[in-house]
Amino acid sequence: MAQDDNSLVLHKPRATVTKKTLVWVLAAATLLAAANSADEKRLSVYAPVATYSLSVTERNGREYVGLLELLEPLGRVGSEWARGRWTIRFNSVGGEFIADRSRAKIQGRDFDLGAPFLVENARGLIPISAVVTLLPRFLGTQVNFRENARRLFIGDVALQPSFQLETGPPERLLLNFTAPVNPTISTEPGRVRMVFKRDPIVSPGSQTISFDSKTITHANYSEGNGVAELDVAASSPLMATFANGGKTIILAAAPSSAGGDAPTPGSGPAPSQSAPSGGGSGTQPVSHRPLAVVDAAHGGDERGAALSNQLVEKDVTLGWARLLRHELEVRGFAVLMVRDGDTAVTLDQRASEANAARASVYISLHVSSQGNGAHVYSALLPVEDPSKGAFRAWNAAQTPVLPISRAVAGAVLGALQKKQIAARGGAASLRPLNNLLMPAVAVELAPGSNGPDLTSANYQQQAAAAIAEGVVAMRDRLGVQP
């Protein structure tokens, strides 16, 4: 966590420039970055232990993906680059690759990649077409790879939706799934569009499903660049609601406004967010899954605190963040990971991503080899000039929700203490807490007072469960942020 203090010093020389930077300026930059990233090629991976997305690189007319990044969320992995050979060990399985050669060895057996193996900055790249035959050798299980759509399914994780048309009145279309889903939903005249970025849904058997209905006529399924999409066509505006703990999406005709005209369809928030109340004209989906942003501190070249000769903070926070994601998801939250691999993310990027997602709560995770137990922090805001109208200074964006942040920190603190983890609370000038528009806390974990160290899976699991319980206890006070 000491690295963040250094980050504060590094940002200090331009504090006079950014002190009065308005939130809308960074929001515009976020939208521009999102537009640029829309063209980026992505590979989505769905596995029982993790769901994540990787960048796809083009080299010599072929698509490549980082092997270390592909395996890292699935188990223990390490690699070494020396004298033209790149070796990797995943759990107990070893592999050996040679730069610019299409032949490799896994557990001593030859394997054909179909295209040369590439090494860039000690990072091993494999052709994406080799994933379907290479991964089973490391994982010991079959995979289903939809190469054209860049969607990789490991084990039995795929969700196939079923459709149920209720003739009513009112007439409704029920989309049923075997697990909760969290698509981004938007409505347009005559169309409801559902984009599944993290849910492993697959074709319902046909790309087009027709319904014997005058209102809801048909649905189209498509997938590409790591996402799946369901479009439902209708003769009148539809609205989407959620039921059955997020396992069912219900589409029905939008109610007429007071003047008798149908409301103008608009884009609703993702189902992970609460629909705003009030008399707006757009149709809004009803939420059952608030969105939590989990931020594993550091990453990439920013290693964080050195915990031992081999262990650094960025690796421990990532594993702990994945445990927290699971604990939150089983308690009904949707979770956005700021990083799900060893990637560098700036402090402003972390805040921008959480703000753009309109999350309900943000949790930053740090670890330290000093002291014992846990520290729970809310933001310590700098002295700022009063905000002007609807605008808010970037370094004081947290101001309106700071009381709720302190309440969340208190709930997390109490949950940690209930699990016999020594915990203390306080406020800290720790970015990006002060740049966030939603309730935000940071938790720093040190070795346990009764012996467990930071690498203990049980210790991390207990801490993750306590954080999730504290957040859940505050669920009624969390909501979509402006």
Instruction: Break the chain into its structural domains and give their ranges.
Output: 2-33+290-477, 57-149, 162-253
Average pLDDT over residues 430-437: 90
| pLDDT tens readout for residues 288-341 | 578 999 999 998 888 888 887 777 888 889 889 998 998 998 888 989 999 988
Average pLDDT over residues 2-23: 38
Predicted confidence at residue 44, as pLDDT, reads 94
Between CA 36 and CA 30 the distance in angstroms is 10
Predicted confidence at residue 474, as pLDDT, reads 93
Q: How many Cβ atoms from other residues are within 10 Å of residue 45's Cβ?
A: 28
The beta-strand segments (E) located in 237-288 are 238-243, 248-253
Q: How confident is the model at residue 233 (pLDDT cuts 50, 70, 90)?
A: very high
What is the chain's mean pLDDT, rounded?
80
Helix (H) or strand (E) holding 196: strand 191-196
Q: How confident is the model at residue 440 (pLDDT cuts 50, 70, 90)?
A: very high
Q: How confident is the model at residue 370 (pLDDT cuts 50, 70, 90)?
A: confident
Q: How confident is the model at residue 401 (pLDDT cuts 50, 70, 90)?
A: very high
229, two tokens: 């999409």
Predicted confidence at residue 126, as pLDDT, reads 95
| Topology of the domain comprising 162-253 | Immunoglobulin-like (2.60.40)
Predicted confidence at residue 35, as pLDDT, reads 44
Which architecture characterizes domain 57-149 according to CATH?
2-Layer Sandwich (3.30)
Tokens 């520290």 identify what position? 375
Question: How far does Cα 80 stand from its chain's mean position?
Answer: 29
| pLDDT tens readout for residues 101-140 | 999 999 889 989 999 999 888 789 999 999 998 999 999 8
Q: Provide the terminal-to-terminal Cα distance of the chain, rounded to the nearest Å.
A: 29
Predicted confidence at residue 428, as pLDDT, reads 84
Point out the least confidently predicted range of 212-216, 299-303, 451-455. 451-455
Instruction: Give residues with Cβ within 8 angstroms of 381, minimum separation 6.
Output: 395, 396, 398, 399, 402, 434
SS3 of 121-142: the string is: CCEEEEEHHHHHHHHHHHHCCC
Residue 393 reports pLDDT greater than 90: no
Classify each residue of 128-159 as buried b or exposed e, where b means 16 or more C-beta atoms within 10 Å of its C-beta.
Answer: bbbbeebbeebbeeebbbbeebbbbbbeebeb
Of 24-28, 40-44, 244-248, 308-312, give the range with the top mean pLDDT.
40-44
Whether a cis peptide bond, with omega within 30° of 0, leads into 136 is: no
Do domains 2-33+290-477 and 57-149 share one topology? The answer is no
- Please check whether residue 325 is in contact with residue 294, taking contact to mean a CB–CB distance below 8 angstroms: yes
Residue 377 reports pLDDT greater than 50: yes
| Phi, psi at 466, each rounded to 5° | -65, -45
| CATH class of domain segment(s) 2-33+290-477 | alpha beta
| Phi, psi at 104, each rounded to 5° | -140, 170
- Above pLDDT 70, what percent of the chain? 81
- Above pLDDT 90, what percent of the chain? 38
For residue 300, give Cα distances in angstroms to 281, 297, 346: 45, 10, 10
Predicted confidence at residue 389, as pLDDT, reads 57
For residue 106, give Cα distances in angstroms to 99, 113, 128, 466: 15, 11, 17, 40
